[in-house]
Amino acid sequence: MAFRSAISLSFVCLVLLALAVGSNAGGIAIYWGQNGNEGTLSETCGTGNYEYVILSFLSSFGNGQTPMINLAGHCDPYSNGCTGLSSDIKSCQANGVKVMLSLGGASGSYSLASTADAKQVATYLWNNFLGGQSSSRPLGAAVLDGIDFDIEGGTDLHWNDLARFLSGYSKRGKKVHLTAAPQCPFPDAWVGNALNTGLFDFVWVQFYNNPPCQYSSGDIGNLEDSWKQWTSDITATKIFLGLPASPEAAGSGFIPVSDLTLTVLPAIKGSAKYGGVMLWSKYYDDQSGYSSAIKNSV
């Protein structure tokens, strides 16, 4: 009896240890939408590699502009050609994948002129992509899981207002997740004020095209220091390590699979805020197979 109890106790300890080790397992977020040769949205979610898919981009909005989505070669928004994505979005969500709409991008035309302008943009997003009602929803009837802030230009004004207005819609039913993709130099020049609201669920920090805080071969110090600052100074549910999915996906900052799995991830996964890895983008991931190679280590 005592022998069997000892075995049972050992088994329980092993199970608890496995749960503790697995509790900091992360997910992979992927940007999709800027290359028509990256497969469909449904195929992207069907790989099983991603927990979050970020549709990129709503590239024109604010300051009196008519909001316009740009999904490159996937569909033509000017002829309502992107409404067919509704079934793909629902398919993703049925597979447990959260689908976000990203605002901005590196080459968009966007800015917020005032608090009232931010409120107007939030209302537009709610009615056209989230849980509201509109006769002209660009992606059809599907209700997205949230809004991503990939602000890389314009000004830093009123993004905090936009975050507050969008967050307020969570009270109407389905939670509106807020995510952001700041650059790794801290604080981010564009969305630093917005992040200080503490309203963001997932923050995928771009540790690429930023040599002062990214990984360079064999030297993890700059990345680790920056990671510690982000995880300690930003109130968010989870922080993600944002990386290019292949050397061609960015000017600098690509981390070879072995360096990521053996050196970088072990150094940052101890953080309670570690959420996983964000990759730019699905097209480059298709070329490199990066997400498949790192998935079991994330």
Q: What is the pTM of this model?
A: 0.92
Q: Which of 51, 152, 224, 248 is catalytic?
A: 152
Q: Is pLDDT at 4 greater than 80 in this prediction?
A: no
List the beta strands (DSSP E) in the chain: 27-32, 52-61, 68-69, 98-105, 109-110, 146-151, 177-180, 202-206, 238-244, 274-280
11, 115, 219, 274 from 99: Cα distances, Å: 39, 27, 34, 20
Q: Residue 4 gets which letter from DSSP?
A: H
Q: Is pLDDT at 60 greater than 70 in this prediction?
A: yes
Look at residue 16 in the predicted model and tell me its pLDDT: 40
Q: Which two three-digit tokens encode residue 141?
A: 């009837």
Q: Is pLDDT at 272 greater than 80 in this prediction?
A: yes
* Domains defined along the chain, listed by start: 26-295 (3.20.20.80)
Q: Strand 68-69 and strand 52-61: pairing?
A: antiparallel
| 152 catalytic residue (yes or no) | yes
Q: What are phi and psi of 36, to 5 degrees?
A: -65, -10
Quick one: the chain helix, strand, coil %, rounded to 5? 40, 20, 40
**Residue 242 to residue 250: CA distance in whole angstroms:** 11
Residues in the chain: 298
Relative orientation angle of helices 159-168 and 115-129, to the nearest 10 degrees:
40
Per-residue pLDDT tens digits for 95-110: 999 999 999 999 999 9
